[in-house]
């Protein structure tokens, strides 16, 4: 063992050298540990949220695919709609050489199935059957019927009831949006070729309050020569979402609250009025529009008779009274979107005045008349809106037509 004198002066005893480490305060250590833990929890929460979002998106995608498949399966099972078809309203129609719009044979949309002649109803031969009376119906959406219901429209009900006791063929040659001014051109150009015995005319008289009515002399009628087998196919340029039958059903089932619909209608009417050449409101029933109606009905009656058929006029019925009741105002306001210059009061009064014009034309031209307006005007239970019939309304109108048919057959 070395003697203590062997160490140099000032030398410290022999022991291991080490660095001096300053220890952290307890509070700082805890804070640092908490920060690390919070960062871990945050990363875990982000990962968990991302997984939840991905799972929700995946579940939503599966639900949409399943819903779309379910809608298509339902259409295939109950309406014989091919599973992979993408029916569209535009596919229902084609335009001929004169740019007139006609039904496309065999076209489908919702519950609508056009027959071999491009009309709503069962298959009918282009040529009338022997010893069989052929009835044709001209009109707009009121006659075409509800797209979501098959066989409910009054021409279909007429066909169902009359055919039980007689040989009768019914041709529903109507389509949505056709103005009465155009009926004569359509009939003289193509529809007369189907050789009806009787033509029932249900004119949508509210069109005469529109600023979109053609002015001046009628266009010359050019007979259509386009054969049924020459109709060009429909080119569907819609995107995937527009082809979805599930989304179409959701749109159809969605209902806008009444107060929001009123607000939207007011805004749209104001916008439409601002774009009109004459934005002033009608302060009276426009007599010149009623005269246009009379002229058009006279021309159509002549065309029908010249083709060898018998015309039957029908007055246009509405859900409201004149003057309108409080319950009628929403129906009238909704129609003003199409005829913005007409106030609710004028619109109601015009419809009643137009029915009088139809009655006068029937007497003047010695034409049979079915006075639908006198029978059901103001019957709110028979309509779903201002002009379109509820099922009970279609049933009532069909019964009036059947009564007229049976009386004329005596």
Give pLDDT tens digits for 277-297: 888 899 899 999 999 999 999
Give all strands of the β-sheet with 310-314 in edge-to-edge order.
168-172, 133-139, 198-202, 310-314, 368-370
Q: Which of 65-74, 125-134, 173-182 has the lowest mean pLDDT?
A: 65-74
Nearest to 206 by CA among 311, 325, 392, 331: 331
Alpha helices in 178-276 (DSSP H): 180-189, 245-253, 258-275
pLDDT at 6: 43
Tokens encoding 380: 């709110």
Flag whether pLDDT at 38 surpasses 80.
Answer: no
E runs forming strands in 62-185:
93-95, 101-103, 108-109, 112-113, 133-139, 168-172
pLDDT at 300 over 90: yes
Confidence of residue 163 (pLDDT cuts 50, 70, 90): low
237: pLDDT strictly greater than 90: no
- Position 11 pLDDT exceeds 50: no
Q: Is 368 left (phi over 0), alpha (psi -120 to 50) or beta?
A: beta
- CA-only gyration radius of the chain, Å: 36
Mean pLDDT of 182-206: 94
**Overall pTM surpassing 0.95 (yes/no):** no
- Coil, helix or strand at residue 3: coil
**For 125-143, b where at least 16 C-beta lie within 10 A, e where not — what string?**
eeebeeeebbbbbbbbbbb
- Altogether, the residues listed in the chain come to a count of 410
- The residue ranges of every structural domain in the chain are 34-84, 124-232+256-408
Is 97's pLDDT higher than 90?
no
In this predicted structure, the answer to whether residue 22 has a pLDDT above a threshold of 70 is: no
The Cα 174–Cα 203 span in angstroms is 10
Going by C-alpha positions, the residue among 268, 230, 388 that lies closest to residue 318 is: 388
- Say yes or no to pLDDT of 189 above 60: yes
Determine the pLDDT at residue 7.
Answer: 41
Percentage of residues in the chain having pLDDT higher than 70: 86
pLDDT of residue 9: 45
Tell me the average pLDDT of the chain: 85
Mean pLDDT of all residues in 172-200: 92
| CA 230 – CA 95 distance, rounded (Å) | 12
Task: Express as a percent the part of the chain with pLDDT over 90.
Answer: 44
Given a contact cutoff of 8 angstroms between Cβ atoms, the answer to whether 331 and 203 are in contact is: no
Nearest alpha-carbon partner for 192 in 288, 47, 73, 305: 305
- Per-residue pLDDT band for 274 (boundaries 50, 70, 90) equals confident
Tell me the CB-side half-sphere exposure of residue 154, using CA atoms within 13 A. 30
Query: pLDDT category, 117, cuts 50, 70, 90?
Result: very high
382-397 pLDDT tens trace: 999 999 999 999 999 9
- Higher model confidence: residue 79 or residue 159? 159
Average pLDDT over residues 207-233: 73
Q: Which residue has the higher pLDDT, 23 or 60?
A: 60
Local confidence band at 399 (pLDDT 50, 70, 90 cut-offs): very high
Phi/psi of residue 371, each to 5°?
-85, 75
Beta pairing class for 108-109 and 112-113: antiparallel
CATH architecture of 124-232+256-408: 3-Layer(aba) Sandwich (3.40)
Angle at 306 between CA 300 and CA 307, to 5 degrees: 95
Separation CA 255–CA 277 (nearest Å): 33
Q: Label residue 405 by pLDDT band (50, 70, 90).
A: very high
Reference 118, options 128, 131, 104, 132; nearest CA is 104
DSSP 282-318: PSS--HHHHHHHHHHHHHHHHHHHHTT-EEEEEPPP-
């Amino acid at each position: 063992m070395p003697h203590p004198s062997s160490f140099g002066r000032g030398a410290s005893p022999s022991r291991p050298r080490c660095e001096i480490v300053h220890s952290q305060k307890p509070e700082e250590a805890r804070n640092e540990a908490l920060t690390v833990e919070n960062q871990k929890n945050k990363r875990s929460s982000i990962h968990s949220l991302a997984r939840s979002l991905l799972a929700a998106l995946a579940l939503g995608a599966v639900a949409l695919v399943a819903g779309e498949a379910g809608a298509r399966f339902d259409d295939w099972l109950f309406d014989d709609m091919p599973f992979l078809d993408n029916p569209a309203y535009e596919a229902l129609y084609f335009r001929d050489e004169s740019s007139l719009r006609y039904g496309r044979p065999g076209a489908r949309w919702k519950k609508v199935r056009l027959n071999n002649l491009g009309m709503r109803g069962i298959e009918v031969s282009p040529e009338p059957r022997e010893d069989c009376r052929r009835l044709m119906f001209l009109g707009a959406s009121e006659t075409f019927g509800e797209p979501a219901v098959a066989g409910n429209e009054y021409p279909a009900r007429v066909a169902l009831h009359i055919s039980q006791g007689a040989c009768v063929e019914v041709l529903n040659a109507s389509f949505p949006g056709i103005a009465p001014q155009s009926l004569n051109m359509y009939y003289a150009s193509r529809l007369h070729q189907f050789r009806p015995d009787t033509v029932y005319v249900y004119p949508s008289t509210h069109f005469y309050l529109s600023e979109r009515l053609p002015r001046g002399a009628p266009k010359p009628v050019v007979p259509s020569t386009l054969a049924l087998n020459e109709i060009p196919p429909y080119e569907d340029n819609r995107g995937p979402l527009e082809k979805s039958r599930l989304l179409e059903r959701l749109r159809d089932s969605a209902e806008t609250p009444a107060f929001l619909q009123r607000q939207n209608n007011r805004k749209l009417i104001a916008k439409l009025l601002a774009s009109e050449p004459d934005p002033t409101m009608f302060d009276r029933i426009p007599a010149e529009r009623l005269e246009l109606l009379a002229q058009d009905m006279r021309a159509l009656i002549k065309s029908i008779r010249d083709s060898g058929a018998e015309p039957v006029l029908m007055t246009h019925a509405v859900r409201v009274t004149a003057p309108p009741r409080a319950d009628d105002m929403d129906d009238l306001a909704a129609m003003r979107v199409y005829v913005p210059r007409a106030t609710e009061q004028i619109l109601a009064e015009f419809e009643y005045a137009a029915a009088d014009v139809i009655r006068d034309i029937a007497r003047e031209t010695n034409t049979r008349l079915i006075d639908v307006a006198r029978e059901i005007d103001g019957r709110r239970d028979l309509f779903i809106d201002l002009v379109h019939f509820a099922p009970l309304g279609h049933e009532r109108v069909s019964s009036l037509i059947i009564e007229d048919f049976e009386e004329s057959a005596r």
